[in-house]
Amino acid sequence: MRDIRRILVAVKDPSARSLPAVAKAAQLAVALGAHLELFHAIDTSVYADTLGMSQERLGALQRGERAQYLQRLERIAARVRLHGAEVSVRAEWDYPGYEAVIREAGRFGADLIVAERHPRRHIAPGLLGLADWELLRLSPMPVLLVKRARPYHRPVILAAVDPTHAFAKPARLDDEILAAGERFGAALRGRLHVMHAYDPLRAGLLSVSGAPVADLEQSVVTESQAAFDRCLKSSGIPSSRRHLVGLHPVDAVVATAREVRGDIVVMGAVSRSGVKRLFIGNTAEQLLDRLPCDLLIVKPPRFAARVPRARRGVRLIVLQAPY
């Protein structure tokens, strides 16, 4: 994970009383000496009839709305600067919101995106319109999805690795996960735990060979432990903060996060497409609602953004005049 020098905060509602994503991003910015940008994507639709909306009126509306959002963002920035952070603000007409955030992060040169969790429940990963699901999936930059309002205080950080690559993650992704966990732990003066989940059901699937299930279960445990130890060989993490868990990954991460009272879970994610995108839920996607803490998602090296660079501008919906 590269150094975090620029942090973009996606501010969904600049007029909200509570802005936990801004508060936590400010903590990170101060600790890391990073520049913070507060960004709001103006993705509301503008309705116009075919006769009554001139280009001049449309332009004036856009400028007026943008100026109001910038003013609200600047008020937030002024409070953040009191804590010693370097802060700038930006608002742009662009849609959909998650694409606008990724585009602005690229323009700004962000090393980290911080966003608040989408308020609706994520019933299935096939519901592609949910902004945070898409942001996690498409962003080439690490994304910290804030679920808790409480500020960080010596947080417990749980890094979830997959050294056996049982779930088709690239080998170098574990290095990115560990580096991110170490960086956040050092910046926030927290404690880093690391976990690896293995699925005990694999033993049952392998038992068709005729070997006793108990022997196969032990083989799976031994193989998983060896891979986990190799992954952490040079990490210096004590055994008391290493967790090998025999559960499905989603259940394992949730259970371990609760056990260690985690404040941030760090995971890796790969982008899926086609049938896999619609029907196979990525572990990180399934965790959006179940995790009791914040979620930091990192991507493999050279992960390419699949978002057009050009802004879409205002979402104009033209109403046909009645005949």
pLDDT in tens, 177-187: 999 999 999 99
Verify that 157 and 271 share a domain, yes or no: yes
How far apart are alpha carbons 287 and 261 in whole angstroms? 16
Examine the domain organization and report whether 289 and 177 are in the same domain: yes
**182-188 long-range Cβ contacts below 8 angstroms, 24+ apart:** 183/1, 183/4, 184/28, 184/155, 184/157, 184/264, 184/266, 184/296, 185/155, 185/157, 187/4, 187/28, 187/31, 187/32, 188/27, 188/28, 188/31, 188/152, 188/154, 188/155, 188/157
pLDDT at position 48, please?
Answer: 74
pLDDT of 216 reads 72
- pLDDT for 47 beyond 70: yes
183 shares its domain with 94: no
Instruction: Give me the pLDDT at residue 304, please.
Output: 81
| Domain contains 145 | no
Binned at pLDDT 50, 70 and 90, residue 126 comes out as very low
Is pLDDT of 260 > 80? yes
Instruction: Tell me: pLDDT of 122 over 60.
Output: no
Are residues 109 and 166 part of one domain? no
Identify the sign of the CA torsion 129, 134, 137, 139: positive
Q: Residues 273, 158: one domain?
A: yes
Whether the predicted pLDDT of 38 surpasses 90: yes
pLDDT of residue 165 exceeding 80: no
Domain identity same for 108 and 27:
yes
Averaged pLDDT score across all residues of the chain? 86
Confidence of residue 143 (pLDDT cuts 50, 70, 90): very high
- Burial of 252: CB neighbours in 10 Å, binned 0-12, 13-18, 19+: buried
If asked whether residues 110 and 2 sit together in one domain, one would say yes
> What are the phi and psi torsion angles at 302 (to 5°)?
65, 25
Question: Tokens in use for 252?
Answer: 């394992």
pLDDT value of residue 302: 83
Q: Return the residue matching tokens 């009839």.
A: 49
Output the pTM of the full model.
Answer: 0.88
Do 167 and 130 have their domain in common? no
Question: Mean pLDDT, to the nearest integer, of 224-232?
Answer: 92
**b (16+ CB within 10 A) / e for 219-233:** ebeeebeebbeebbe
Q: At what angle do helices 20-32 and 173-188 cross, to 10 degrees?
A: 90
In sequence order, the β-bridge partners of residue 145 are 115, 295
Note whether residue 311 is domain-resident.
yes
Q: Does the pLDDT value for residue 201 go beyond 80?
A: no
11 pLDDT higher than 60:
yes
Same domain, yes or no, for 194 and 216?
Answer: yes
- Provide the pLDDT confidence category of residue 3 given band limits of 50, 70 and 90: very high
Residue 298 CA to residue 1 CA, distance in Å, equals 8
The CATH number given to whatever domain includes residue 127 is 3.40.50.620
| Residue 299 shares a structural domain with residue 156 | yes
Residue 53 lies in a domain: yes
Our count of domains for the chain comes to 2
Q: 25 with 78, same domain? A: yes
Weakest-pLDDT range from 42-51, 178-187, 230-239: 42-51
Number of other CB atoms surrounding residue 140 within 10 Å:
18
Give 139's DSSP letter: -
The residue with tokens 């985690």 is 262
Question: Could you tell me the CATH number of the domain that includes residue 297?
Answer: 3.40.50.12370
> What φ, ψ does residue 147 adopt, rounded to 5°?
-115, -25
Structural domain boundaries, residue 260:
150-303
Residue 169 and residue 225 in one domain: yes
Closest CA to 115 of 1, 12, 5: 12
